[in-house]
Structure 1
Amino acid sequence: MDGAGLSQRERAILAGMEEHLRTDVLLDRRLATMRPGRSLTEAAGLLRERLLALGTGLAGALTAVLLVMAASSSSTALIWAFAATWVLTLSGLSLLVCRWSRRLAAGQRGTDPSTGDPKD
């Protein structure tokens, strides 16, 4: 199309298609209440990021509790449990810092951090 618009015949066909689609009540209701939002992959990425942050926070709290318990009782099992949760906490923190720095650098460059494509 060169920008001339739709012909009368094309407009009639389009109106017929719209009328046919309007007879589907469920589709009509869904289209009327539709809101623009995140795509499924964006929502999954956000959920994954939030879960990592939550898990790292919980692991940090558990690490602090295990440190106090291990220091007060000198139990070998508690010391090893503290060491394991400390490693998990540090791993989660390093992943969060890497994601944060990548997002910060991409924001300064004006690109999308997940794909590397320029933002519009």
Structure 2
Amino acid sequence: MSAGRLSDHEQRVLDEVERALCRDRGLDRRLRTLRLGRCPGLGRPAAYRPRTPTVLLLLTVSVTLLVTGIVTSEPAVIWSFAAVWPVTLFAVFRLLCRWTEG
């Protein structure tokens, strides 16, 4: 598609589509209250509030991968640990922040 101006026909079609979208009140309401995701923390990581069992599970998986990686020196296990460990640290940090809130 060219980066130049639209033809008269294309401009009329575009104007018509814009008018139809402006009349759609449901779409307007949804766009005004747009949320980025259904999962908590997907759009805003600072809003993530992990629960204690989740953090304990992440810690268990991380320690298991760490020990397995040290014993076997398998690259897949080491990379798995490298992927899980930052998530675990973030979850622990957010849990501690939640516990210390007033």
CA radius of gyration, larger in: 1
Provide TM-score, normalisation by structure 1.
Answer: 0.42
Q: Which structure carries more relative contact order (alpha carbon 8 Å, separation 6+)?
A: 2
Report the TM-score when normalising by structure 2: 0.48
